[in-house]
């Protein structure tokens, strides 16, 4: 399955000294973002250094998820071009066990099914979008994210920070016009290499 959970409570392991690339800084993930079924949520970021990653960490928010039916959830990574178009470059396996406990860290390995890599080299200065896709009949809970004033706040300066696609599984590509503004601000994800962290 490629995912596991570990309770973190009020203080997350994201605050440790493991080298990682983050969509936003963990200290800024102070708001719980309640998501909805049949969407892919995007959190845009630009890494400050180049780094090879093979595992992703996402924490559930204060509202736990309850799984009934459906394919599950899947994480994904896109490169983003200057015109805002995205191309899928890596993804996890689908999980029906993720986020079932509140305030718990879950890990997802990159999956090779479909010809995608088991590790991916992030390049400093390149724009990326981290995706969370939901095909989940049941209670869709929350994930930690950035506090914002509303849908208009998803764009900082000229670059988009978050949005969502009408897709329950990560599409192989998207265009800027296919992204919907949402009041759900960027959510937190960490991209790590198990050789550095051991977990």
pLDDT in tens, 136-155: 989 999 999 987 655 555 55
Average pLDDT, the chain: 87
User: What would be the CATH architecture of the domain defined by 3-197?
Assistant: Sandwich (2.60)
pLDDT per residue as tens digits for the range 40-82: 999 999 999 999 999 999 999 998 899 999 999 999 999 999 9
Phi and psi at residue 168, to the nearest 5°: -85, -10
Question: What number of CA atoms fall less than 13 Å from residue 159's CA on the CB side?
Answer: 13
Asked whether residue 160 carries a pLDDT value surpassing 70, the answer given is yes
Determine the average pLDDT of the residues in 159-165.
88
Range of weakest confidence among 97-106, 168-177, 189-198: 189-198
pLDDT at 183: 65
Domain ranges, ordered by start, for the chain: 3-197
What pLDDT does 8 receive? 43
* pLDDT-based confidence at residue 33 (cuts at 50, 70, 90): confident
Region 36-40 average pLDDT = 95
């Amino acid at each position: 399955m490629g995912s596991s959970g570990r309770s973190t409570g009020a203080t997350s392991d994201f605050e440790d000294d493991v080298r990682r690339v983050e969509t936003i800084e963990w200290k800024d993930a102070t708001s719980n973002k309640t998501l909805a079924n049949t969407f892919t949520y995007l959190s845009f970021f630009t890494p400050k250094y180049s780094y090879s990653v093979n595992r992703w960490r996402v924490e559930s928010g204060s509202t736990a998820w309850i799984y009934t039916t459906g394919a599950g959830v899947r994480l994904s990574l896109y490169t983003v071009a200057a015109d805002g178009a995205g191309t899928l470059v890596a993804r996890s396996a689908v999980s029906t066990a993720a986020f079932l406990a509140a305030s718990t860290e879950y890990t997802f390995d990159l999956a090779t099914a479909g010809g995608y890599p088991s590790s991916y080299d992030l390049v400093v200065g390149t724009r990326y979008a981290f995706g969370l896709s939901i095909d989940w009949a049941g209670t869709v809970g929350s994930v930690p994210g950035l506090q914002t004033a509303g849908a208009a706040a998803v764009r900082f300066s000229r670059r988009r920070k978050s949005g969502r696609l009408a897709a329950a599984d990560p599409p192989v590509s998207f265009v800027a016009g296919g992204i919907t503004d949402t009041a759900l601000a960027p959510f937190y994800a960490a991209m790590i290499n198990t050789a550095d962290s051991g977990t």
